[in-house]
A and B are shown apart, each in its own frame.
Chain A
Amino acid sequence: MRFGMILLAGIIACSLAGSLIPQGESAMTYVQAYGAKTAKILIDIGFTNIFHSWYFCMLEILLCGNLILCSIIRFPKTRRMFREMKRKAAETETAEPLSPGQAEKIRQMLKRGGFRQEGEVWSKNSIGAYGSFLTHVSILVVLGFGSLVLMTPKITDRTVMPGESIRMDDGTKVTCLSFHIEDKNGKLDYASLLRAESADGRESREQEIRVNEPMRFGGKKIYQQTYGTAGQALIHNDTNGAEETVWLTEPCFLSIDSRNGVYFQALYPGFIQEEDGSYTLITSSSMGYSNPVYSVQSIADGASASVLAFPGETLQIGEVRFTFLMPTEYPGLRIKEVSTALYAGLYFGFGLMVAALYLCFFMAPVCVRVNEDGYQVHSPKPQEGLKIRIQTAAEEE
């Protein structure tokens, strides 16, 4: 047990370090926060990614080994424990003395409490003997299935614009039919209406997903992980009449002939027009994109000019017109392939551990030997509460 305690103390120490030192940041972040020398030491000893470090994994493996050994060693003892406790109770003299008549009161109290009588020995909770063993087994189940569940799923993060589709490697097609931030009553909702279709088109399903309501389809779980706001531009070529709408989510060059075009820099949620006619751009707003403005550069014949374009405005570069449209909100989806068997194993481990701890703490096996001379309580767990109840029953008028 001592080795197990040392391992647990080691896990506590690593977890403490991991919670106090930011994890998985860039080296520059650590240099800025702790200075170059300390940052180098922290990175070298793995403190900046401690939960994936070799020594943390080693601690977990050793703990699993310790739990397996504990369980194997304890099982035969656990099976015998209740029988031996009863035998020991029958053989041991009673240490707590009783006055005449009190023994009967205690027997009545034990009977009411669900104890079973075998001669002078009253016993209860034989199943509780397995509590500790099952707790250790359940920790193993949770660690085993938990590790597999965390390590095995194939995760894909994709953004999908309303009305557009994405196709997965296995051919599954996911279409975002709509996305809204607020519901009809103006309450924050962040919901996407999705349609998923299997590769052969035989199976399809529509569901509105939101933060706590992912969609399950064909062994996959589709989560609404993030959301964003994308600009939109309609490009019209006057020469041939061609027209195309493009999404603007990150800086990009909308090129006509690789030299001329429009360079999209950013989309701002709002702006304030100053008295002198200049604009102050609002970079973030809790009100959403209520008054959006595009920051772009028009590039024509080697000359460039910074321009603020409002939705509905058009920039003409040569024969091509760029019309900026109202921005649209879109969801960021996370598609995770899940194994039902692994999930079931993990849920089983959770349930088993809660049940086993209940057995361990609240159904501990207990034997009471009662005779006219006195009584004696036997249990692997402290039974002061039972002793109080026995004493109270004995002293009842």
Chain B
Amino acid sequence: MNELLFASLILYFIATVLQFTGTAMKKNALQRVARGVLAAGFLAHTAFTVWRGIAAGRLPLANQFEFASAFAWAAALMGFLLHRKLGQEGILTVGMPAAFLILSYAALQPREIHELMPALRSAWFGLHIGSAAFSYAAFAIAGGLGVSYLIQIRKGKKEEDAAMKQLDYMEYRLICLGFLLLTVVIFSGAIWAEQAWSSWWSWDPKETWALITWIFYAIYLHQRMRAKWHGKRMAILAIVALVMVLFTFAGVNLLLPGLHSYATN
């Protein structure tokens, strides 16, 4: 069934190339084809995820590969839904490469199916890790929109342009969604930790970095209320915050082992 994983990876890549080309050449037809290819990739990815869940007899969120795959799946789904709701091509121009890059990272991880270790057998497993995947996906697309915003500014677009305001707005909304979900991640993690290890909070590196990321996004959301903090400055903050998210996701597991070290296996 790994064929489904690699099929979705290839389809995400083709969709990304078509979307970029369509955007650069201003060809709507090409963007429509890209959407179709993304949909096919997403279906293959969904089928792979369902198969893996059935084969493992649990939610496929138990290790770095499964989490990264869910993260990519959430990014693709979010790109689809937001594009459908807001009709903004920018979402897909960012969502497609995000899904492709994250799934590429997943494909590099060991893919063996292991029995769920006792510490992970909890009712909080799905909520805690599932909301983390969606939260990271929202932050990843928001950071990507930040990059897109800066590229547009460099190309000479003005912050006052309607399209730029919409880009800025989408980035903000995604960060709101990601922040709410990250709050759920932290709280469900605290309740789970109390049940498993008797302590709500142990300053484990993963916990600490989740808190750092949460506080940084809280600063982002507060700064947004200040008059001068819009557009370019917020795009830069969204990108810096995304670096923190990526470090929390992958860097902590590699460099700062702790109670969450099983996520590396």
Q: Which residues of A contact B (CB under 8 A)?
A: 1, 4-5, 8-9, 11-12, 15-16, 18-20, 23, 51, 146, 149-150, 155, 187-190, 210-214, 221, 223, 225, 334, 336, 346-347, 350, 353-354, 357-358, 360-362, 382, 384-385, 388, 392
In the complex, residue of chain B having the shortest beta-carbon distance to the beta carbon of A214: B195
B218 within 8 A of A: yes
Instruction: Name B169's contact: one of A146, A188, A382 (CB within 8 Å).
Output: A382
B32 within 8 A of A: no
Residues of A within 8 A of B115 (CB): 187-188
**A362–B176 touching, CB < 8 Å:** yes
Do A361 and B180 form a contact, CB below 8 Å, given A18-B203, A388-B86? yes
**B117–A212 touching, CB < 8 Å:** no
A334 to B197 Cα, complex, angstroms: 9
**B179–A19 touching, CB < 8 Å:** no
Residues of A within 8 A of B215 (CB): 8, 11-12, 15
A-B CB contact pairs (8 Å), 10 listed:
A8-B219, A15-B215, A214-B198, A353-B183, A354-B187, A361-B177, A382-B173, A382-B224, A384-B166, A384-B169
**A357–B208 touching, CB < 8 Å:** no
In the complex, residue of chain B having the shortest beta-carbon distance to the beta carbon of A213: B195
Do A146 and B201 form a contact, CB below 8 Å, given A1-B222, A5-B219, A214-B195? yes
Closest Cβ–Cβ distance, residue B119 to chain A (whole Å): 5
B142-184 contacts to A (CB < 8 Å): 165-166, 168-170, 172-173, 176-177, 179-180, 183-184
Residues of A within 8 A of B121 (CB): 211-212
**B216–A12 touching, CB < 8 Å:** yes
A15 to B216 Cα, complex, angstroms: 12
Q: State the 8 A-B residue pairs at the shortest beta-carbon distance, nearest first.
A: A384-B169, A361-B176, A212-B122, A350-B187, A19-B208, A223-B198, A357-B180, A19-B205
Do A221 and B180 form a contact, CB below 8 Å, given A15-B212, A51-B203, A350-B191? no
Residues of A within 8 A of B197 (CB): 223, 225
Closest Cβ–Cβ distance, residue B179 to chain A (whole Å): 7
Known: A4-B222, A211-B196, A357-B183. 5 other contacts (CB 8 A): A8-B215, A19-B203, A146-B200, A221-B198, A362-B180
Residues of A within 8 A of B118 (CB): 188-190, 210-212
B256 within 8 A of A: yes
Residues of A within 8 A of B184 (CB): 354
A5 to B215 Cα, complex, angstroms: 9
In the complex, residue of chain A having the shortest beta-carbon distance to the beta carbon of B252: A19
Residues of B within 8 A of A358 (CB): 180
Instruction: Name B180's contact: one of A149, A187, A354, A384 (CB within 8 Å).
Output: A354
Residues of A within 8 A of B46 (CB): none
Residues of B within 8 A of A334 (CB): 198
In the complex, residue of chain A having the shortest beta-carbon distance to the beta carbon of B216: A12
Residues of B within 8 A of A9 (CB): 219
Do A212 and B183 form a contact, CB below 8 Å, given A146-B200, A225-B198, A385-B173? no
Q: How many residues of B contact A (CB 8 A)?
A: 49
Residues of B within 8 A of A4 (CB): 222
A23 to B204 Cα, complex, angstroms: 10
Q: Which residues of B contact A (CB under 8 A)?
A: 86-87, 115, 117-119, 121-122, 165-166, 168-170, 172-173, 176-177, 179-180, 183-184, 187, 190-192, 195-201, 203, 205, 208-209, 211-212, 215-216, 218-219, 222-226, 252, 256
Instruction: Name B198's contact: one of A155, A210, A346 (CB within 8 Å).
Output: A155
Residues of A within 8 A of B201 (CB): 146, 150
Closest Cβ–Cβ distance, residue A116 to chain B (whole Å): 23
Closest Cβ–Cβ distance, residue B249 to chain A (whole Å): 15
Closest Cβ–Cβ distance, residue B225 to chain A (whole Å): 8
Residues of A within 8 A of B200 (CB): 146, 149-150, 346
A4 to B223 Cα, complex, angstroms: 11
Closest Cβ–Cβ distance, residue A222 to chain B (whole Å): 10
A353 to B223 Cα, complex, angstroms: 20
**B191–A212 touching, CB < 8 Å:** no
Closest Cβ–Cβ distance, residue A10 to chain B (whole Å): 10
Instruction: Name B119's contact: one of A212, A361, A382 (CB within 8 Å).
Output: A212
Closest Cβ–Cβ distance, residue B206 to chain A (whole Å): 9
Residues of B within 8 A of A382 (CB): 168-169, 172-173, 224
A336 to B256 Cα, complex, angstroms: 29
**B208–A18 touching, CB < 8 Å:** yes
Residues of B within 8 A of A213 (CB): 195
Closest Cβ–Cβ distance, residue B62 to chain A (whole Å): 14
A358 to B184 Cα, complex, angstroms: 11
A388 to B82 Cα, complex, angstroms: 13
A213 to B87 Cα, complex, angstroms: 47
A290 to B216 Cα, complex, angstroms: 50
Instruction: Name B211's contact: one of A15, A210, A212, A384 (CB within 8 Å).
Output: A15
Instruction: Name B203's contact: one of A23, A221, A384 (CB within 8 Å).
Output: A23
Closest Cβ–Cβ distance, residue A146 to chain B (whole Å): 7
In the complex, residue of chain B having the shortest beta-carbon distance to the beta carbon of A349: B187
Residues of A within 8 A of B177 (CB): 361
**B203–A211 touching, CB < 8 Å:** no
Residues of A within 8 A of B183 (CB): 353-354, 357
A150 to B203 Cα, complex, angstroms: 12
- Of A16, A187, A382, which is in contact with the most chain B CB atoms at under 10 Å from its CB? A382
Residues of B within 8 A of A146 (CB): 200-201
Do A19 and B166 form a contact, CB below 8 Å, given A150-B200, A188-B117, A353-B187? no
Residues of A within 8 A of B209 (CB): 19
Residues of A within 8 A of B199 (CB): 150
